[in-house]
Structure 1
Amino acid sequence: MSAALAVVRPGECHVWTARAVSVRSAAAPALLKLLDAGERARYEAFLRDDPRALYLTAHALLRELVGAELDRDPAELAFTAVCRHCTSGGHGKPRLPDSPLHLSLSHSGDRVAVALTYTGPVGVDVEQLTRPGEAPLMVLSAEERAAYDLLPEGERTRGFTRYWTRKEAVLKATGDGLSVDPALLTVSAPDAPAALLGWAEREQPHPPVRLYDVPVSGDCLVSVAVLGDDCRVVMHEVAYDGDGVLRRPRRTGA
């Protein structure tokens, strides 16, 4: 790696984004070597190149970041995936049983995102803005739908996507995922600071939810949620070169 990766300090949440590496590029073999047998099997199970590229880049990036953070070999990390709602294994939030580091990953379009923090359970969501078809407005609460309907037509794609990244980040942080109807959550309006305003049918389901919108370049939006104390979000945009080396770190505070 050409540049040292930033250390996650107490009270911080670091969010990293990168564009997916083509599975037919020279970089792909180097990234595949970082994955374990189970991850490689899931990679091979994808029938199309685009989802393969997203999976490969997200999991390789996660391994590199965690390995650098904990000073361990990325290829030797043993992640587990825990689902709160079943015992089948193989899916759910990734975690390291022997570390206090909390982590989350997401991908959409051609972009992947990874979040790391010691503060508490974390969820990150990245969503591409150019999504085909009509927005599934049934995921909005009544309050959100009322605010959405007031948006000018040209702002509705961004507005809906911002609602979605916030909801998805919260549900990832709590470990519920989409087993919970997103319409039960009410988050702040797209042009207001990110916040979870309410959760119907659930009382005090978790420690305080700290919700943040993360600035990122390009045609996507990113939100991150952390359960626990307020923290400083640090954003990094990186890229893999053709040789599979992670370069061009750009850091901004949020």
Structure 2
Amino acid sequence: MRIKLYENRDFMRRTQIKLMQEEVHIWCIRWKEVIPVFEYYQLMLDQKEKEKMEEYYFYEDRMRYVAGKVITKLVLIQYLEEEEISFLSHKFGKPYYKSISGKQDIEFNISHSGEMILVAFSRDAKIGVDIQEIIDCSEYLEIARSFFEPEEVKNIEESNSKELFFQYWSAKEAYLKAIGVGLLKGMSFFSVKDGVIKENGRKKDHWKLIPIKVQGYAAYIALKEKEKSGK
């Protein structure tokens, strides 16, 4: 599986980019640098999305939401060679679109934090992505003790590192989003220590956790390659 990273300059000329088999495309966009694009393409939001947008009181929160939706729709339209894409959502909120006859489905996932929007796409893998701005957080040890697996908590306590806390948090959210359960099931039933996903002490076969380097942020993609037909 090849991982390709795209940034703002690629977003502005995305028509030259195609999503091929056995590729994961990660779009890492600084939304503040292209605000006019997102303000213009707000027209792409459906009624429910517009209502959700209006629930955000602060402008930056609203624009992060809009930017995530717009990036995803514009890129999917290009990949699928369609004129319009509408989103649905699974039980716990993971977005998807209705299958298009004659075209292979593309799985995608969205995350945003601070000035960054992260969106991942694949034709061949189940995916989840998460990004967390590494901010001052004096309570990070208490949060880890409440939500993380004991070995992860021990590592954070020994390192006394808020960066490690955010790395674990991002990796965990990416996996939860990939399996489509969100935070309702909690974070302590599995671990991501050393980049390996384990549930009840057993390694999750065929799953990968891949860090994404973004200065000032912790970011991960969790992926599981789909079985090839005939196997």
Give the equivalent residue in structure 2 for 1:59. Answer: 69
User: Residue 108 of structure 1: CA displacement?
Assistant: 1.1
**Residues 162-241 of structure 1 aligned to structure 2 (within 5 Å):** 162-189=167-194, 194-196=195-197, 198-200=198-200, 208-216=206-214, 218-228=215-225
Give the equivalent residue in structure 2 for 1:247. Answer: none
User: Residue 228 of structure 1: CA displacement?
Assistant: 2.6
Q: Does 1:118 align with 2:123?
A: yes
TM-score by length of 1: 0.74
Q: Secondary structure at the match of 1:150?
A: helix
Q: What whole-Å deviation, never above 9, does each CA across 1:28-56 have from its counterpart, x for those lacking one?
A: 43121222222122112211112101101
Structure with more of its chain in helix, by fraction:
2
Distance in 2 between residues matched to 1:213 and 1:97, nearest whole Å: 30
The CA RMSD measured in Å over matched residues stands at 2.4
Paired residue type of 2:221: V
The alignment covers a number of residue pairs equal to 209
Residue segments in structure 1 that go unaligned for 5+ positions in a row: 85-91, 231-254
Q: Secondary structure at the match of 1:14?
A: strand
Q: What whole-Å deviation, never above 9, does each CA across 1:134-187 have from its counterpart, x for those lacking one?
A: 111122211111222221x4xx12111110111100000001110112011111
Give the equivalent residue in structure 2 for 1:238. Answer: none
User: Residue 227 of structure 1: CA displacement?
Assistant: 2.2
Paired residue type of 2:67: T
Distance in 1 between residues matched to 2:128 and 2:188, nearest whole Å: 18
User: Residue 5 of structure 1: CA displacement?
Assistant: 4.6
Give the equivalent residue in structure 1 for 2:132. Answer: 127
Q: 1:10 to 1:127 in 2, by over 3 A?
A: same
Name the % identity.
Answer: 22
Asked if the contact 2:14–2:75 (Cα under 8 Å) also holds between the matched residues in 1, the reply is no
Q: Secondary structure at the match of 1:182?
A: coil
User: Residue 3 of structure 1: CA displacement?
Assistant: 4.8
Paired residue type of 1:36: D
Give the equivalent residue in structure 1 for 2:27. Answer: 16
Q: 1:12 to 1:2 in 2, by over 3 A?
A: closer
**Residues 9-88 of structure 1 aligned to structure 2 (within 5 Å):** 9-21=20-32, 26-73=36-83, 76-84=84-92
Give the equivalent residue in structure 1 for 2:95. Answer: 94
Q: 1:229 to 1:213 in 2, by over 3 A?
A: farther
Distance in 2 between residues matched to 1:139 and 1:5, nearest whole Å: 43
Asked if the contact 1:148–1:159 (Cα under 8 Å) also holds between the matched residues in 2, the reply is yes
Q: 1:6 to 1:131 in 2, by over 3 A?
A: farther
TM-score by length of 2: 0.81
Give the equivalent residue in structure 1 for 2:110. Answer: 105
Distance in 1 between residues matched to 2:96 and 2:59, nearest whole Å: 26
Paired residue type of 1:16: W
Paired residue type of 1:212: I
Paired residue type of 1:97: K
User: Residue 110 of structure 1: CA displacement?
Assistant: 1.9
Asked if the contact 2:137–2:162 (Cα under 8 Å) also holds between the matched residues in 1, the reply is no
Residue segments in structure 2 that go unaligned for 5+ positions in a row: 1-11
Q: Secondary structure at the match of 2:77?
A: helix
> Which has the bigger relative contact order, CA under 8 A and spacing at least 6?
1
